[in-house]
Amino acid sequence: MSARFTLVAGGAASGKSEFAERLILESGPLPRQYIATMEIFDQECRARVARHRAMRATKGFSTLECPVNLPGAPVPSGGAVLLECMTNLTANELFSPNGAGSPQAAEDSILAGVDRIMAGCARLVIVTGEVFSGGNRYAGNTDLYLRLLARVNRALAARADEVCEVVCGLPAWYKRENEVFA
């Protein structure tokens, strides 16, 4: 079995989380698993987590915190899985003391984790960030991170049945089930 997989990309505050949740809710009465990837550093993180938890509270999700090492995440089989957000997981694997370290090791870990989840669940939605349209004049090793995240995004898009970019809460589809693109 391989899950039906939708990749949901979008900019900051584009409504991508809510849209991704809707896809999971529309997938029927499967057990719902939320994989949270953010490392909690400060009050801003806590506020963001609280907001997202409240959004999910009434929707039957169980939450699994997984800031690094996705292949080690104990994801139950057969359910609907929402993983959010690939921007965090990638940054953690690259920069966190507990992370994989090198870009190649980070990419390998993330994709192995996704493949494992895809093989075990019935429905998979992954949220990722669109952070690539404002130039690349950033300080330090931000460009290393951008290149890695872009590679991960392209690898996920290649695996996905559907790919969309959410703009003000609405999806623009780059790949759709049962449609053939060149």
Give me the residues that bind another protein (CB under 8 A), please. Answer: 7, 9, 11, 130, 132-137, 146-147, 150-151, 153-154, 156-158, 163, 165, 172, 174-175, 181-182
Q: Give every CB contact of residue 38 below 8 A, 6+ residues apart in sequence.
A: 45, 48, 49, 67, 85, 88
Whose Cβ is closer to another protein: residue 53's or residue 154's? 154
DSSP helix/strand/coil, 84? strand
Q: Which of 16, 32, 52, 56 is catalytic?
A: 52
| Residue 174 is a catalytic residue | no
Compare residues 116 and 175 and give the one whose CB is closer to another protein: 175
CB of 165 to another protein, least distance (A): 6
Residue 82 makes CB contacts below 8 A (sequence gap 6+) with 20, 21, 24, 32, 33, 34, 35, 61, 125, 126, 127
113 CA to centre of own chain: 12
Residue closer to another protein by CB (options 58, 133) is 133
State the minimum distance, in angstroms, from the CB of residue 160 to another protein: 9
Q: What is the closest distance, in whole angstroms, from the C-beta atom of residue 60 to another protein in the complex? A: 30
Closest alpha carbon to 90 in 74, 108, 116: 108
* Residue 50 beta carbon to another protein: minimum distance, rounded to whole angstroms: 27
Q: Which is nearer to another protein, 64 or 131 (CB)?
A: 131
- Measured in whole angstroms, the distance separating CA 55 from the mean position of its chain's CA atoms is 17
Q: Look at the alpha carbons of 103, 10, 35, 27 in this order and tell me if their dihedral is positive or negative.
A: negative
Residues 177 and 18: their CA atoms lie apart, in Å, by: 21
Catalytically annotated residues: 52
